[in-house]
Structure 1
Amino acid sequence: MVRGMADYGAEAILLAGAGRALLLQLADPPVGRGVHEHSTFTGRPVNRLKGTLTYVYAIVYGTEEQVNAVRRRVNRAHVPVRRADNGTSPGYNAYDPELQLWVVATLYDTAVTVIEKIYGPLDDESADAMYQDYARIGTALQLPAGMWPKDRAAFGRYWDDRIANLRAEDAGIRVGRGLLYPKHTALWYRAIIPPARFLTAGLLPEQLRKDFGLPWSERRQRRFDRTMRVLSVVYPKLPQGIRHWFKDYCLSSLDAELNGQAGPAKQWWSAKQRKPAGSLK
């Protein structure tokens, strides 16, 4: 059976690759400079992650209204992210098709990397379907359709060339390090960062581990391999409601926003605040 993005895109295990995709994006110097100069990324990492994944979930699973909403949101966010060459460093523009291509490429390659570690290698038909599905994510971001490599072989050549020449600059490294070693975020977020940092390091190319100062060793590699083997056994057996919870949460929040209502988290907190004194629930 052919399985594409609609079959895998809702899996919460893809969150394990979020750090990898983000650091790959930041390692592209123009992306790193743009995020460093125009984003509060390191102060609101969860909001940024939710925003990115809400966009992906809406494109893959959403209604026309949801798709239009996330496209408008992304376009508004990208409008100010531009700067001309100032003589000290090259300029950048969030609407640059080459940068848009790189961002979507990191999402695609990371998703396939994680999926194949958990579910095993995709057969050719499923791999082709997944690849074409990600083209939709790019074109929804205004990436010209002709920019997406025509097939997986062409993408492989593009990817290998980019990785071979990719070196993070100071701006991107500062943002990346701020995400990997947060100082002014919620306690629960700081608690989950060590395992997230470990998974991110294990999934990154070696050169980018060095660029972002992520220590690695043969011992860490063995631990990473064991971790992925355990996840490949345990995760697929979880109930779908657990595996798809983040997708459901993001799209519910988007619906609430479109309807002028509080999102699920705010509704829960408001209900807690209204509980009578002495209530244990």
Structure 2
Amino acid sequence: MAEPKPEVIVEGNDTAEIAQFGTEEKNENSDGDVIGPKLLDALEQPEQIRRIVREAILLAGGATAILLQVAEPGVAKGVDEYSNFAYRPMDRLRTTMTYVYCMAFGTRDEKKAVIEMVHRAHAPVNGPGYSADDPELQLWVAATLYAVGIDLYQRMFGDIDDAAAEAIYREYAILAISLRVKPGMWPPSRKAFWEYWDNKIATTEITDHAQNVAKSLLFNKLAPLHIRAVLPLVRLTTTEMLPPRIREAYGLKSTKTRRGAYRFAMGFTKVTYPCLPKVIRTYPMRYYLKDMRKRLRDMA
């Protein structure tokens, strides 16, 4: 999955601090999670990432991102053993999108609350050879969100100029550092990121746990009818969006007919999607933020 190069004007503050903030000051909450004020300061006003994550089209890459995430064996084991795609296939999407939208658009207090919730949810997810709080695993999860998101955005809107692309990339670090990833672990530039990415794609192993997740995600016979109805399209887009080595390891077939159908679907979407009113293109963002705020009020 190579990164194109988009046309966006850079506005607002320098965002380098997001990937470089200090860790001198820290606050500890009642659950033992450490969230430093510097982290919350860095999360305060992420301007560039907002123009990417607000777009509903990114949801089309949800299954691709999940299969890339579980290509990392530690992630696969945790998801397979602690998630239930078969019976509740939308739960991971809801959790992931709530987290992403909150980090980009939430208030300081909302971000702190959601980060604490994520940390508490991750605490019991561990076993021989893996832990949901492992920074290396969380770095990979955040990396998949960036790679899939920026790829889909540029397919729809065209290349972003280098300065804007670098600013957007730096802000994507918030999806990693708020998940216990040390700031220095996020690759310092897009060039370094794609080197990290290529190495991971070349070396990750599709385990039985990953295959279980893929089966529950793409061939779910227990999902509600409205979800099963769109699974053929999800399988098509996911198969074609995955890097060839990962696709083949999952046993997903890319045929000439399927590639043609995918190109047609993407071409049609590229023509029509940018013409949609922004209120439609940003509906999922508003829906999940509203859902998040309701749940936070209910917990208060």
- Alignment pair present for 1:238 and 2:246: no
Cα distance in 1 between the residues matched to 2:232 and 2:164: 33
Name the residue aligned to 1:88.
Answer: none
Cα distance in 1 between the residues matched to 2:100 and 2:246: 25
Q: Could you tell me which of 199, 205, 222 is aligned with 1:161? A: 199
Name the residue aligned to 1:220.
Answer: 258
- Shift in Å at residue 202 of structure 1? 1.2
Structure 1 letter corresponding to 2:49: M
Q: Any gaps of 5 or more consecutive residues in structure 2?
A: 1-8, 12-47
Q: Any gaps of 5 or more consecutive residues in structure 1?
A: 85-90, 262-281
TM-score relative to the length of structure 1: 0.87
Name the residue aligned to 2:51.
Answer: 7
Name the residue aligned to 2:108.
Answer: 64
Structure 2 letter corresponding to 1:82: N
Rg larger in structure: 1
- Is the partner of 2:156 in helix, strand or coil? helix
Q: Percent identity?
A: 40
Name the residue aligned to 1:20.
Answer: 64
Structure 1 residue ranges (4+ consecutive) displaced by more than 2 angstroms after TM superposition:
none
- Alignment pair present for 1:134 and 2:183: no
- Alignment pair present for 1:54 and 2:62: no
- Shift in Å at residue 2 of structure 1? 2.2
Q: Could you tell me which of 78, 96, 107 is aligned with 2:134? A: 96
TM-score relative to the length of structure 2: 0.82
Hey, which of these two has a bigger chunk of helix by percent?
A: 1
- Shift in Å at residue 179 of structure 1? 0.7
Name the residue aligned to 1:258.
Answer: 296
Q: Deviations over 1:28-87 (max 9, x none)?
A: 111111111122233212121011111000000111122122112211111111113xxx
Name the residue aligned to 1:273.
Answer: none
- Shift in Å at residue 134 of structure 1? 0.8
Cα distance in 2 between the residues matched to 1:194 and 1:65: 40
Name the residue aligned to 1:279.
Answer: none
Q: Deviations over 1:82-127 (max 9, x none)?
A: 113xxxxxx1011111101100000000001111111112210121
CA RMSD in angstroms, aligned pairs only: 1.3
Contact 2:201–2:246 (Cα < 8 Å) also in 1: no
Contact 2:50–2:104 (Cα < 8 Å) also in 1: yes
Contact 1:28–1:167 (Cα < 8 Å) also in 2: yes
Q: Deviations over 1:250-276 (max 9, x none)?
A: 010111112229xxxxxxxxxxxxxxx
Cα distance in 2 between the residues matched to 1:172 and 1:188: 25
Q: Could you tell me which of 78, 86, 90 is aligned with 1:34? A: 78
Contact 1:35–1:41 (Cα < 8 Å) also in 2: no
Contact 1:108–1:134 (Cα < 8 Å) also in 2: yes
Q: Deviations over 1:128-182 (max 9, x none)?
A: 1111111011111111001001111111110111111122011111111111000
Structure 2 letter corresponding to 1:2: V
Q: Deviations over 1:230-269 (max 9, x none)?
A: 11110011011110111100010111112229xxxxxxxx
Structure 1 letter corresponding to 2:110: Q
Report the number of matched residues: 255
Q: Could you tell me which of 53, 67, 76 is aligned with 2:120? A: 76
